[in-house]
Amino acid sequence: MALITLRRNLYHLSNFRIHGALAALKNHPVNHVRKMVKERLCPWFPSLQPEPCRVRFHHACCKKFHSENGDALHPLGEPVFSQAHDWAGPEQNPKSLDEQMFYRRLNDLDSSEDVLHFIGTLQPLPDSLAAGALQRICEVEKKDGNHKLPKGILENGVFQALCVRFEQESPSLSDTALVTALQALSLLYVGPQSNLLLNLVAESRHRVNRGGLEVRSLCILGESLIRLQGPGGETLELIIYQLQGEKLETFAPEDIVALYRILQACAEKVDRHQAFLNKINSFSLSVVSNLSPTLMSQMLTALVALDQTQALPLVIKLGKYAVRHIPHFTHEELRKVLEAFIYFGHNDRFFTTALERHVASLCLTLDPEVISTVMEYCGRKQILSKPIFDAVAETFVGQSEKFSPRQVSELTEPFGKLNYLPPNASALFRKLENLLLARFDYFPPKTLLKILHSCSLIECHPVNFMAKIFSPYFLQQLQGEESSVDRLSLAQLTQLFLTSVLECPFYKGRKLLPKYQVRSFLTPCCSLETPVDFQLYKSVRIGLIDLLGARMYFASKVLTPYCYTIASSAAGKLQCGRIQNRRRRRKGT
């Protein structure tokens, strides 16, 4: 059976002849044949060659190997990596394929114990693969929500041997292994006086000072040092300086985004690096099409943190390519993309269409934070998207208890601002009223006022809450530590009071005191009223100035005693009519 298996495994080798193999099997002992075949396979399979001098794991559990007939070591219970069908041909690099299969197997493991068991059954690993295993352990623990490695992992013999190896042999590690090991340890809290960490940081600093590290290694090292030491270290400044000296054409897309993340961590020094940032912004236009959803979200987040408002061409192109990634963004990534577009004021109808499809299909499973950000985006850009608004209303009716007060406010405001009632409006506002009644004291005063004001704009008058918000206690809370209530809040209170007078004559509760009422809804940040037609307003204003002699003698948007706002006086309208009549006479009309 061993002879048949040997023949099957060697069938595809170009320098092996079946007839020769059969003859050899007949004329030589099995051990001699195995030795001869191993010599033939050494150029093809590096794992069969004599191992270079490496530091081995010094624990018994690291030496559990499984060997078939004493040769070709491979993990117990795992597929043999060097089978003939796993190789495409002699033109491929067997070493790189071995590494690919190692990382593929490593990434399939979902617990640190499985990773340690896996690497414990292998031969002594090259330092780059050992660093990859250490990184996978830290990634798994970070994913599980741990801030430090569990005690069981720290006391594991394989893990201790792995750490001892990196601690004692840091000067002989390759650049890739060194920065990967440091990156792994930076993911979780490690005591700052750890000998392993101190040795790796010292060796990294030495290599940066010496120069010669590749771009990828510099980027990984920079982000690791930020997590471990903060953005103020001298080594980080030297890394940024060395990266500035590299040609951006040599940077991979992930390196460009890593560079943005490094500069984002040093946002307080953005003025010092603005010239370099301008170069990166210009070059990044050429790599946008190659960015993954994660990288795209991270780039937009960094542009916001660095306040790169002059990089609008880059933002516009990112918005163009973000359309195809919307179904593939995670909830957090989509939220950050929307926040960036809100910050830069970007709006794209193709992006909106794709967002409509995504939200309408997945709204019931979207995170409340994402839903509130989507609605804030629609409200800020005045996008009345019925598919989005209807889906959000349906989600809120079914999952209102999951939304925080701020999220409820951000979700509700666009309905009032854009004057839209969804099909399930009665159920939506009944659910909102029940939520406010049950959690009234948990809502900040300004947040509560925004919600009620939004409801009144679409004729869902919050009569049951007016007595509470007109009370001196609520007004004192609304004022807070300031000397007076801000003008926007006063305008909203006044509109709610006028609503109770004009639209709800049956309301006989507490009234808003005159000192809290405003005479105009013009506010420094915005106006609570629908803007008038500019051309009409301009004609009236010119006529009033001509009639009265100066702008100071009249006012617009003034509240009348009857609680209505007038845009201009009758005299102004009359004068405007006279001016238009004169123009008609001149034209002979």
Per-residue pLDDT tens digits for 519-529: 776 665 565 65
pLDDT at 287 over 70: yes
Residues 437 and 487 in one domain: no
Q: Each residue of 461-484: pLDDT tens digit? A: 899 999 999 999 999 998 887 778
Would 256 be classed as within a structural domain? Answer: no
Would 18 be classed as within a structural domain? Answer: yes
Would 421 be classed as within a structural domain? Answer: yes
Q: What is the pLDDT of residue 582?
A: 45
| Dist. CA 224–CA 303, nearest whole Å | 21
Mean pLDDT score, 342-348: 91
Q: What is the pLDDT of residue 191?
A: 64
Residues 354 and 454 in one domain: yes
Would 313 be classed as within a structural domain? Answer: no
Residues 521 and 442 in one domain: no
Determine phi and psi for 558, rounding to 5 degrees.
-105, 135
Domain boundary among 528, 545, 563: 528
What does 220-238 look like in DSSP terms, one character per residue?
A: HHHHHHHHHH-TT-HHHHH
Residues 498 and 397 in one domain: no
**pTM (predicted TM-score):** 0.72
Would 506 be classed as within a structural domain? Answer: yes
Would 491 be classed as within a structural domain? Answer: yes
Residues 387 and 485 in one domain: no
Please check whether residue 475 is in contact with residue 517, taking contact to mean a CB–CB distance below 8 angstroms: no
Q: Each residue of 481-503: pLDDT tens digit? A: 777 888 888 888 988 988 888 88
- Going by the DSSP 8-state scheme, the letter that residue 522 receives in this structure is B
Q: Each residue of 412-469: pLDDT tens digit? A: 999 998 989 999 999 999 999 999 999 988 999 999 999 999 998 888 889 999 999 9
Q: Total structural domains in the chain?
A: 4
Residues 412 and 510 in one domain: no
Confidence of residue 63 (pLDDT cuts 50, 70, 90): very low
User: 153: which 2 tokens?
Assistant: 């992992």
pLDDT at 117 over 60: yes
How many Cβ atoms are within 10 Å of 283's Cβ, its own excluded? 15
What are the distances in angstroms from CA 328 to CA 174, 317, 334, 389?
A: 35, 18, 9, 22
Residues 453 and 520 in one domain: no
Residue bearing tokens 């979207």: 366
SS3 at position 73 = strand
Would 182 be classed as within a structural domain? Answer: no
Residues 507 and 485 in one domain: yes
Residues 444 and 364 in one domain: yes
What is the domain extent for residue 451?
347-460
**Helix or strand (DSSP H, E) at 93:** none
Residues 386 and 414 in one domain: yes
Determine phi and psi for 122, rounding to 5 degrees.
-95, 170
Expressed in percent and rounded to 5, the helix, strand and coil fractions of the chain are 65, 0, 30
Q: What is the pLDDT of residue 565?
A: 60
Q: What is the pLDDT of residue 123?
A: 67
Mean pLDDT score, 239-245: 92
Would 292 be classed as within a structural domain? Answer: no
